[in-house]
């Protein structure tokens, strides 16, 4: 899958998303695929917990195994995937990973078709394997897609494009999960698997119709080893101030998000004094907020600048989590969690344009796959720490300071919110607050260290 020069040069990206046929195909492929993913992810968790491990004492561990199978490829495959994404033709790589995922999901149909004729342990092993392979394929697909967006969409349209993509993902998060349970229990898991496989097939067909330029590599670049390419990407990353600011602030930001993900169900029951079933309503409200945030970021980026939106929204999210941690009434919590989703959606939108603005095309795969594993490690560490503190050291916390009550859950959430605010303030100091030309200048200044390191390797 090495890059080849096409017989005729592809057309230049059209100005404006409305007239950009490549963008239409990328967006439609993402819309179909992400809905299929949400249905599949929710269905698999329900399938494992209520069908394969039904009535078993180890059912919670079996469900956590699905999440582990999805997370491990980010740590194991992600760091090396970027090298190959930068070496191979990105469009062909996207086609190959879509085809692989469609085949794997269809092969998983053997489990429900076999029914009780295969033991539970074998069914679980096949499910875990399918989830891990699909997650590993995603480690190649996602950075390749980002690079194709950078090549197919002019710089002036990128933030709006990412805003529409984010809004699409949020809408899928609202629509997809509620479809999973009826589809599983009324029609059977096989139809959810077929639907997800067909979403990859449609994505494959749309990507196949893309016309994008091949990756441009430095003219004086000769054959290189995997080790040299890997070191080049890491060296470029650590010498680029914008990328390091993004990585550091994202990791700090994850401290708050991870705590919220782990403890929100207990916050609903202990602090909001409501049934745990209301967690779904809070999740839907959050998804609505991220949808609005994605659209708003695309609309105002031209006036505010992506870097300013980024750090302001980090601070706003942290402030929102602080406010959320003090609530005791469910209706107000639904409103606040929706408002928290707005800056989260905006942050998700502007990260992509910020990365594209400071990273050469031939290094995009390696840059993206540095951030993913580090953020995943931060998320896992945060979730483990939050769960440990809530279960042990802070289990009996019942403190009142100046008339304000602090319990175990709200205290951890409040500290997470403070970390988010700190991450935003730090990002504001580190990200260059200049005009639109600043990222390109940063790119030119920081490009030499990575090249020098590769040559030395």
Q: Is residue 423 part of a domain?
A: yes
pLDDT-derived band at 125 (thresholds 50, 70, 90) equals very high
Greater model confidence, 81 or 392: 81
Among 91-105, 115-129, 253-267, 285-299, the minimum mean pLDDT is found in 253-267
The answer to whether 51 and 189 are in contact (CB under 8 A) is yes
Tens digits of residue pLDDT in 219-248: 555 567 888 888 888 889 888 888 898 888
* Residues 449, 354 share a domain: yes
Domain end, chosen from 178, 213, 248, is at: 213
Domain end, chosen from 162, 183, 213, is at: 213
Which residue in 97, 71, 167 sits closest to 372, CA to CA? 71
Q: Is the pLDDT of residue 5 over 90?
A: no
The residues with which 405 forms a beta bridge, in sequence order, are 400
* Residues 187, 313 share a domain: no
The CATH number of whichever domain residue 201 belongs to comes to 1.20.1250.20
pLDDT-derived band at 102 (thresholds 50, 70, 90) equals very high
Q: Is residue 261 part of a domain?
A: yes
The answer to whether 89 and 215 are in contact (CB under 8 A) is yes
The answer to whether 91 and 212 are in contact (CB under 8 A) is yes
Please tell me the predicted confidence (pLDDT) of residue 318: 93
Q: Is residue 238 part of a domain?
A: yes
Q: Is residue 438 part of a domain?
A: yes
Q: Count of domains in the chain?
A: 2
The answer to whether 213 and 9 are in contact (CB under 8 A) is yes
Q: Is the pLDDT of residue 317 over 50?
A: yes
pLDDT-derived band at 30 (thresholds 50, 70, 90) equals confident
Greater model confidence, 370 or 435: 370
Rounded distance between C-alpha atoms, residue 175 and residue 222, angstroms: 49
Please tell me the predicted confidence (pLDDT) of residue 260: 78
User: What is the average per-residue pLDDT within 313-335?
Assistant: 92
The answer to whether 319 and 424 are in contact (CB under 8 A) is no
Rounded distance between C-alpha atoms, residue 278 and residue 270, angstroms: 13
Rounded distance between C-alpha atoms, residue 39 and residue 23, angstroms: 24
3-state per-residue secondary structure call for 237-283: HHCCHHHHHHHHHHHHHHHHHHHHHHHHHHHHHHHCCCCHHHHHHHH
DSSP conformation class of 88: B
Tens digits of residue pLDDT in 184-214: 777 778 888 888 899 899 989 988 888 776 6
Q: Is residue 221 part of a domain?
A: no
The range of the structural domain enclosing residue 272 comes to 231-456
């Amino acid at each position: 899958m090495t890059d080849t020069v096409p017989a005729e040069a592809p057309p230049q990206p059209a100005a404006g998303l409305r007239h950009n046929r490549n963008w239409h195909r990328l967006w439609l492929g993402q819309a179909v695929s992400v809905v299929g993913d949400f249905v599949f992810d929710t269905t698999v968790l329900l399938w494992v917990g209520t069908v394969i491990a039904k009535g078993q004492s180890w059912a919670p561990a079996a469900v956590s195994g699905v999440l582990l199978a999805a997370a491990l490829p980010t740590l194991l495959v992600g760091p090396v995937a970027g090298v190959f994404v930068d070496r191979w033709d990105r469009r062909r790589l996207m086609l190959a990973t879509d085809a692989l995922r469609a085949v794997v999901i269809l092969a998983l149909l053997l489990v429900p078709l076999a029914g009780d004729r295969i033991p539970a342990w074998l069914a679980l092993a096949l499910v875990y394997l399918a989830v891990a392979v699909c997650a590993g394929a995603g480690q190649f697909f996602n950075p390749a897609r980002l690079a194709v967006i950078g090549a197919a969409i002019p710089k002036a349209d990128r933030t709006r494009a990412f805003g529409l993509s984010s809004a699409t993902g949020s809408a899928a998060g609202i629509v997809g999960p509620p479809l999973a349970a009826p589809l599983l229990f009324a029609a059977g898991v096989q139809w959810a698997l077929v639907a997800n496989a067909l979403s990859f097939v449609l994505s494959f067909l749309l990507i196949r119709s893309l016309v994008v330029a091949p990756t441009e590599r430095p003219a004086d670049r000769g054959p290189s080893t995997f080790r040299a390419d890997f070191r080049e990407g890491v060296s470029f990353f650590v010498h680029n101030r914008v990328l390091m600011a993004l990585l550091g602030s994202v990791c700090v930001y994850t401290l708050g998000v991870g705590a919220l993900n782990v403890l929100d169900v207990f916050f609903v029951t202990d602090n909001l004094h409501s049934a745990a079933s209301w967690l779904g309503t809070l999740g839907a409200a959050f998804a609505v907020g991220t949808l609005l945030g994605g659209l708003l970021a695309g609309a105002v980026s031209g006036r505010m600048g992506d870097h300013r939106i980024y750090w302001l929204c980090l601070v706003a999210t942290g402030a929102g989590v602080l406010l959320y941690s003090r609530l005791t009434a469910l209706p107000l919590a639904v409103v606040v969690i929706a408002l928290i989703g707005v800056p989260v959606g905006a942050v998700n939108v502007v990260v992509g344009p910020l990365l594209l603005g400071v990273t050469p095309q031939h290094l995009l795969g390696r840059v993206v796959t540095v951030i993913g594993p580090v953020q995943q490690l931060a998320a896992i560490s945060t979730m483990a720490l939050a769960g440990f503190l809530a279960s042990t050291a802070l289990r009996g916390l019942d403190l009142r300071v100046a008339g304000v009550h602090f319990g175990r859950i709200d205290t951890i959430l409040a500290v997470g919110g403070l970390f988010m605010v700190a991450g935003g303030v730090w990002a504001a100091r580190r990200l260059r607050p200049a005009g639109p030309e600043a990222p390109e200048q940063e790119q030119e200044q920081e490009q030499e260290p990575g090249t020098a390191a590769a040559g030395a390797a």
